Amino acid sequence: MLFEVLETETFSKLFDSLAKDEQKWVKKMIGQLKQNAFVGKPLRFPWFREKKYKGKRLYYLVYQNLNKVLLAAYGSKKEQQRIIAHVLANLEEYKRIVEQV
């Protein structure tokens, strides 16, 4: 079963500002997530996960019932707690984004 990988508008803007090697890695992760959305380390919940690359982390939400993955954020270990708090505070908005696509 293939998953559709979506991204927030904020993530799209951030992606454009990443270094070329980071962009290449994120694209590779998108390919992986299409095949298996549950790669990476779960963060508090099985549907909220991260993948690490050179000290930075890609944060994403898995909507298994919709066969969709939403790329929510990418940041350093230092930013981790702020990012996690932001994602958890905006779950309803993220769900709306995924349901509309």
pLDDT of 101 > 90? The answer is no
**Which residue has 């991260």 as its token pair?**
50
Tokens read off for 57: 């982390």
Query: What pTM was computed for the model?
Result: 0.95
What is the rounded CA–CA span in Å between residue 92 and residue 34? 23
- The pLDDT of 78-97, averaged and rounded, is 96
> Model confidence over 13-27: pLDDT tens digits?
999 999 999 999 999
- The pLDDT of 85-97, averaged and rounded, is 96
- The pLDDT of 7-15, averaged and rounded, is 95
Q: Give me the domain span that covers residue 50.
A: 4-100
Q: In this predicted structure, what is the pLDDT of residue 19?
A: 96
> Model confidence over 34-84: pLDDT tens digits?
999 999 999 999 999 999 999 999 999 999 999 999 999 999 999 999 999
pLDDT of 1 > 90? The answer is no
Q: In this predicted structure, what is the pLDDT of residue 45?
A: 96
What is the domain-level CATH number for residue 38? 3.30.2310.20
Q: Which residues does 68 contact at the CB level (< 8 Å), separation at least 6?
A: 3, 4, 5, 6, 98, 101
55 three-state secondary structure: coil
State how many domains the chain has.
1
Q: Which residues does 80 contact at the CB level (< 8 Å), separation at least 6?
A: 57
